[in-house]
Amino acid sequence: MRSVIWLEDVRRDDIGRVGGKNASLGELINGLSGSNIKVPHGFATTAQTYWRFIDFNGLREPIRGLLEAWESGRETLGQTGAAIRGLVLRAVLPADVEDDLRRAYRRLSEGLGVNAASVAVRSSATAEDLPAASFAGQQESYLNITGEQALLDACRRCYASLFTDRAISYRQVNGFDHMKVALSIGIQQMIRSDLGGAGVMFSIETETGFDKVAVINASWGLGEYVVKGTVDPDEYRVFKPLLGVSGLTPIIQKTRGSKERKLVYGDRGSPTQDILTEPEERMRLVLSDQEIVKLANWAVAIEAHYDCPMDIEWAKDGQSQEIWLVQARPETVQSRVAPNLLSTYRIKSKGRPIASGLAIGSAIAAAPICLVEGAGDSDRFVDGAVLVAKTTDPDWVPLMKRACAIVTDHGGRTSHAAIVSRELGVPAIVGVGNATQMLRSGEVVTVCCAEGDHGTIYEGRADFAVEQTILSDIPKTHTKVMLNLADPQAASRWWRLPADGIGLARMEFVISNSIQIHPMALVHFDDLRDQAAKKMISKMTEEYSDKTEYFVDRLSTGLARLAAVAFPKPIIIRLSDFKTNEYAGLCGGTQFEPQEENPMIGFRGASRYHSPRYRDGFVLECRAIKRLRENMGFRNVALMIPFCRSLQEAEKVLETMAENGLKRGNGLEIYVMCEIPSNVILAADFARYFDGFSIGSNDLTQLTLGIDRDAEELSTLFDERNPAVMWMIRKVIADAKAAGAKIGLCGQAPSDHPEFAAFLVECGIDSISVTPDSFVAVKRAVANAEAKQEQG
């Protein structure tokens, strides 16, 4: 059978013979057979078979002539594509090609133990799935094809899809000669994911290029809806470096998508049909933890084999419950980013938020909106506008290229809109839900993807800036310069910075943004008096049979995303440091918080952790940290106690932590914030209880000078460079070092005042922790100070 070749006889370097997609499938079967990766059986037509088909029907010159007419402007793209497809669909397969396809199909069916196998028929162009061009969705695939005649018809339609308008346009823009690109067709055993689920995964984080994380999208039914962006899928993130460690489950994110529709096998003559998912399916995650980890392990193996980041499609058979890989191709966007250049967008001032969704990319764009209903409305689109649509597919590509930003109602990170916007280098926000209802054509908006996982559409034209940093120009220092981070969704934007870890991770940010419920309201849910809050908590925690697990799960995964960015360098997580008025603002919180005249110096920090008023809530914090370190494996996590007023309080807090599985020692370091004068005065004594100090310069300044840092009338007096404050800092650094304890500072002063950074270096501080946007400036200030110190 010279027209076809079995996938097990194909290798990675056979792109010219069977196209990028089929070559990759063959490589998976042959190169990774020892990794227990399952790939459906199948065969492929050769590229030579395509040319035999073209020449048998005398189509070369007619196709060439039609393309030349389009290129010269005598015909439109639509007219040209339709004419060529018509020629191909009316053509006939050579008799020996038809015979080879029938024989191969029978052999595949026999091997599967059926009379007529259900197969997937996929196009695989010889200029496809390349490291520099994905050709995402440019040619067609046909699912659940059964019977020899149906297979032959699907093959002709695949050949015709080489000349869809979008495929012609894509090749033209990317410089591929139309008459030198051939098409192979892959025919594979159909996996019954219509009864299970399917999706896409990347071996890196798609928006930032963070190479230690695998990202998986999943939805019910056939995978086409995930790829096309028809559904909002589940999303999982897995931390790759800890995958091989026995007993660990390093899943650092599980987000449930709405999954409102699914594509299944048809029952009225059509191979497939669209149906609504059941309410129970929408509430449930598609994959178990074990399945998520299995897929992530496969991603790691494939990435290592190909030696590049990968884009992989998978399917779960609902009958056998087995998971299969159906495609793998090189990732085409982050792999081309200059590794030594960090571009950072920063929004300075912005209007009212209008809508939000998943951020694709990390850029910002501002322009008028152009609401478009279909790809055929290109004449209504204004170049440079923000394209707003329900969803996109490959027919939209010519239109997408004219947009400065893209917004869609539906889709996840692996949808067509997401993939193409990344390739085009334009910001996109997908899965907004109601963008086409909320936004109006002509309205000027700012599309911001620079604030983390979630992108926001702001009213008006925001003021923003872009900064570019050449990473190799950042000097090395003896003093450690670390990062202050709080938002798990934005943390991976900074993974390329050569920081020495995370010196301050604020737990309360995760609680207020990802959890939003007072922990005591979860512990004592049945006793809640506020019925409105009780109803809201029931809705927010409906996935969890144990409401306290909602807090532990969300806190541990949120902190894990921060720990992942630092790993294996340390991350110091400060335990919750809300003031009582801030705690009361959490859902269900008013019942559990006292009203205070001055919460800034009230019931906060260490005093809460052993108090009957909050101890049960603190137990949940401890459970989350224990899971983070022991179940997920983030042993780089150290802890920090805020606002610890006395030695007696230090002792009580450490006892409470030990009772809940967080005993100091055996790899767990516990620090204390140095932000109260008593911490300085008794530094040598505090050092007996803690591994180190972190100077909180804001609180230390206000308590040393007796100034409320929020008082406008006194704002000119609030200055960390005050001699009294500097005396306190110099003293605690000296005393800590004499006691053998580590000491750092987390505050704004080194960022605002280079001379303050020099003062800290002169005092011999071990580390300085600053916000990411200040990192480069502080690093240079520290390097200059160290150089002067060395010069004498």
Residues belonging to the active site: 416, 746
Tokens representing 678 are: 């008593």
Give the dihedral sign, CA 61/63/64/70.
Answer: positive
Name the CA radius of gyration of the chain, rounded.
Answer: 30
130 close to 330: Cβ distance less than 8 angstroms = yes
Which segments within 334-430 are labelled E, that is strand? 341-349, 353-360, 364-371, 386-389, 405-408, 428-430
3-state SS, residue 544? coil
Other CB atoms within 10 A of residue 220 CB: 32
Phi-psi region of 135 (alpha: psi -120 to 50; beta: other; left: phi over 0): left
Distance CA 367, CA 631 (A): 46
Contacts of 632 (CB under 8 A, 6+ apart): 239, 242, 248, 249, 250, 251, 252, 556, 560
Write the secondary structure of 180-212 as one string of H (helix), E (strand) and C (coil): HCCEEEEEEECCCCCCCEEEEEECCCCCCCCCC
Distance CA 195, CA 86 (A): 35
Helix runs in 676-753, H state only: 677-681, 683-686, 697-705, 723-738, 749-752
Q: Which of 210, 252, 211 is nearest to 235 (CA)?
A: 252
Distance CA 733, CA 323 (A): 56
Give the rounded distance of the alpha carbon of 174 from its chain centre.
27
Contacts of 737 (CB under 8 A, 6+ apart): 743, 764
Other CB atoms within 10 A of residue 448 CB: 27
Q: Which of 159, 186, 181 is nearest to 21 (CA)?
A: 186
CA torsion angle 141 144 146 150 (round to 10): -30
